[in-house]
Amino acid sequence: MPRLPTDDLRIRASMPLESPAALARELPLDDAGADFVARCRRAVDEIVLGRDPRLLAVVGPCSIHDPVAALDYAQRLRAAAGRLERELLVVMRVYFEKPRTTVGWKGLINDPGLDDSFEIGRGLRLARRTMLDLTALRVPVATEFLDTTLGQYYSDLVSWAAIGARTVESQVHRELASGLSMAVGFKNRTDGNVRVAVDAIRAARSPHWFPSLTKDGTPAILGTAGNESGHLVLRGGTAGPNFAAEPVAAAIAQLAEAGLPPYLMVDCSHANSAKDAERQPAVAEAVAAQVAAGAGIMGVMLESNLVGGTQDYRSRPLVYGRSVTDPCLPLERTVPVLERLAEAVRGRQRLARRAP
């Protein structure tokens, strides 16, 4: 009697994928680019740890689906960032993976053709190429680490990282964050629970050993040193928004009680704006008032694109510069928000100078 198969019963296909090291050799980061990334990471660290009075502004599309439009957006954002650099460190959202509550388009890496062809090798190449192009423009890159292996293909180009609301409770993501080379923001859970994110920050500050892959694609056990630049990102939840002064103060108190730096970032999108992009300026205004009053808010996040709103990723033709995931604020309305936040930072700096 033939032996019944017991393995890979639900695997329909297997496609080869080159190693992270091979892709890096094909699309290398030059010395000047590496120096820029290193300087940006140090600047981010100084802000999230409260040693730099500026505000970290993570701004850009909900997700990248068109690298050409992303570069167009970056060039326009860079002009505003340069004008406000004394008050803000602007880092562009360059998200290539999209977490889904159920199903849907999973991002440029998973499906670069937006046609369910799932050419992940091409998606990784596009992702790394886009990050290299942004680095050449001297625009710092922020991204979310969703899949725990794909980051090996582009982590050398990232200045700020996020662990999302759906993965903040995951042990493997906490272990991953403990070994990442940049500051990591941990979002509160989708229901609004902040304690889980505080616990994640504490866990990521510790060393860990865990199975993973090397840059050459070899299975290995990796040992980390721990990441002291983990921080909290308030994004609201099903229980309601948490950007107002009272929940911000309560979250800062939780951080202090846990022995963590009492500084946090506020995400003006997601549940804090009820996923209504047009409400982000109002959220940012409330945040700006707290910043000017001296609150421990060290960063903000805005979902912004060349064109406001959203569109179905299956639509043809797609509107250039419009999100295919969450709705975004148009760039023309984003710049005044950044200017208002810069004004608030100047107010906080004046307040600090008057303090005894």
Domain boundaries, the chain: 20-354
Do 245 and 259 contact (CB within 8 A), yes or no? no
Confidence of residue 261 (pLDDT cuts 50, 70, 90): very high
Which amino acid, one-letter code, is at 2?
P
Specify the CATH class of 20-354 in words.
Answer: alpha beta
Q: What is the pLDDT of residue 156?
A: 98
Of 157, 149, 154, the residue nearest 125 (C-alpha): 154
The answer, yes or no, to whether residue 3 has pLDDT greater than 90, is no
Q: What is the pLDDT of residue 85?
A: 98
Half-sphere exposure of 41 (CA within 13 A, CB side): 22
3 state DSSP class of 128: helix
Confidence of residue 101 (pLDDT cuts 50, 70, 90): low
Beta strands in 97-253 (DSSP E): 141-144, 160-163, 183-187, 209-213, 219-223, 230-234
Half-sphere exposure of 326 (CA within 13 A, CB side): 26
Tokens representing 195 are 């304690």
CA distances from 59 to 36, 161, 176, 266 (A): 19, 13, 24, 12
Tokens representing 104 are 């849907």
Interstrand relation of 230-234 and 307-310 (parallel, antiparallel or unpaired): unpaired
**Percent of the chain residues topping a pLDDT of 90:** 94
Q: 69-95, pLDDT tens digit by residue?
A: 999 999 999 999 999 999 999 999 999
Q: What is the pLDDT of residue 1?
A: 76
Do 41 and 48 contact (CB within 8 A), yes or no? no
Kindly report the average pLDDT of the chain as a whole number: 96
CA distances from 67 to 106, 127, 132, 292 (A): 16, 8, 11, 36
Confidence of residue 293 (pLDDT cuts 50, 70, 90): very high
Tokens representing 85 are 């650099």
Sign of the alpha-carbon torsion through 166, 106, 95, 240? negative
Of 310, 302, 271, the residue nearest 285 (C-alpha): 302
- Angle among Cα 291, 181, 83 to the nearest 5 degrees reads 40
Q: What is the pLDDT of residue 102?
A: 64
Which amino acid, one-letter code, is at 119?
E
Q: 205-220, pLDDT tens digit by residue?
A: 999 999 998 999 999 9
Rounded to the nearest 5 percent, the helix, strand and coil shares of the chain are 40, 20, 40
Residues 233, 301: Cα–Cα separation, whole Å: 9
- Sequence-separated (6 or more) residues with CB below 8 Å from residue 64: 70, 94, 95, 96, 107, 108, 127, 130
Q: What is the pLDDT of residue 98?
A: 84
CA dihedral 138→144→145→151, nearest 10 degrees, is -30
Q: What separation, in Å, do the N-terminal and C-terminal C-alpha atoms of the chain show? A: 87
Residues 237, 248: Cα–Cα separation, whole Å: 14
Sign of the alpha-carbon torsion through 76, 80, 82, 87? negative
Residues 314, 61: Cα–Cα separation, whole Å: 18
